[in-house]
């Protein structure tokens, strides 16, 4: 992970400032506030601001009673109840803002979550960083044979070496052409005083999707948890999952009670359909069950069997 001199100075200035506030603060999150936590080869995640904590959720849930925070144990029970029964608005009372550096192809996947405020680095005004994401060998995999949007077996040996070489050379070559079209190097040096540089808004279209971009991403806790439920899942793409895992840790520090409830009911839990519920009830009673009489599809049946550890999995 590489930070510019300006970013390092900004982080140092932010971490050394002293502010007095009457707002609630999260002691553990304060310890990592502004810190750049590395992700992938050149990316990072930084928490740059937040509002509220677990008590804010409890306070908003109890507003109709006109009562504030009770004991921690009571707060925990209420937050678990809210999470278990999918009450949403109390979790919207907390907000968090991240500064994130990520490959463009991951940013395009990420932006599908349309429930955040986003401001991205502009290549119309500034020259893009000369940094590209290149996966490690252990993350090079062939297309999955049974999942159109997933990875299958690992690619090894000379084929892996060839792929990595192509990725590096294409990114380097395209960036070189980017600088030539701009008539300007990454460090601001003019290449040829007699030439005009192409407008940055045009030159940027030649960059590869593994180039890094940056943005500020602000969202409330409810939508952050929805994002993490999808992107920290084992089925998510590895690269975005790496970012989600770092963000999971920030949530744990920020709202530990909500985090525990989220892990218990959302991450570690499962949704059970009405038909699936009937199947499980029959199995508990020792009654015979099969896919033909269940009304479930093959995928639904396998997911149900896997979730409860039953051996009746269909190939």
Rounded to whole angstroms, the Cα distance separating 150 from 147 reads 5
Catalytic residue among 86, 148, 231, 241: 231
* Residue 208 and residue 170 in contact, taking contact as beta carbons nearer than 8 Å: yes
152-159: long-range contacts, CB 8 A cutoff, minimum separation 24? none
Specify the DSSP class assigned to residue 89: G
Specify the DSSP class assigned to residue 219: E
* Residue 2 and residue 131 in contact, taking contact as beta carbons nearer than 8 Å: yes
Please confirm, yes or no, whether 231 is among the known catalytic residues.
Answer: yes
From 135, 150, 116, select the one nearest 237 (Cα to Cα).
150
What is 26-51 written as a DSSP string? -HHHHHHTT--EEETTTEEEEEEEEE
* Residue 155 and residue 163 in contact, taking contact as beta carbons nearer than 8 Å: yes
The continuous run of DSSP H or E covering 101 comes out as strand 95-103
CB neighbours of residue 295 within 10 Å:
14
Sheet containing strand 212-220, edge to edge, reads: 37-39, 43-51, 95-103, 212-220, 117-120
From 11, 87, 73, 3, select the one nearest 38 (Cα to Cα).
3
Query: Residues with catalytic annotation?
Result: 231
């Amino acid at each position: 992970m590489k930070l510019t001199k300006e970013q390092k100075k900004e982080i140092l200035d932010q971490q050394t400032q002293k502010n007095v506030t009457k707002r609630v603060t999260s002691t553990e999150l304060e310890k990592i506030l502004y810190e750049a936590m590395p992700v992938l080869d050149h990316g990072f995640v930084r928490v740059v601001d937040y509002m509220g904590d677990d008590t804010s959720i409890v306070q908003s849930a109890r507003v109709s009673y006109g009562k504030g925070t009770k004991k921690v144990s009571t707060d925990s029970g209420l937050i678990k109840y809210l999470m278990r029964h999918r009450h949403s608005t109390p979790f919207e009372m907390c907000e968090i803002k991240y500064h994130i550096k990520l490959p463009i192809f991951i940013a395009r996947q990420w932006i599908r979550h349309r429930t955040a405020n986003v401001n991205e680095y502009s290549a119309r005004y500034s020259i893009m960083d000369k940094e590209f994401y290149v996966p490690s060998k252990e993350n090079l995999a062939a297309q999955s044979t049974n999942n159109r949007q997933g990875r299958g077996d690992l690619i090894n040996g000379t084929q892996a070496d060839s792929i990595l070489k192509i990725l590096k050379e294409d990114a380097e070559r395209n960036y070189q052409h980017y600088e030539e079209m701009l008539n300007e190097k990454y460090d601001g040096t003019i290449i040829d005083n007699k030439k005009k540089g192409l407008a940055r808004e045009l030159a940027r279209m030649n960059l590869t999707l593994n180039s890094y971009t940056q943005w500020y991403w602000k969202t409330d806790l409810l939508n952050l948890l929805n994002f993490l439920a999808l992107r920290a899942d084992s089925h998510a793409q590895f690269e975005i999952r790496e970012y989600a895992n770092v963000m999971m840790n920030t949530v744990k520090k920020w709202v530990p009670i909500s985090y525990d409830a989220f892990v218990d009911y959302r991450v570690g839990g499962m949704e059970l359909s009405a038909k699936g519920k009937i199947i499980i009830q029959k199995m508990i009673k020792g009654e015979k069950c099969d896919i033909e009489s269940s009304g479930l599809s093959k995928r639904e049946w396998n997911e149900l069997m896997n979730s409860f550890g039953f051996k009746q999995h269909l190939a």
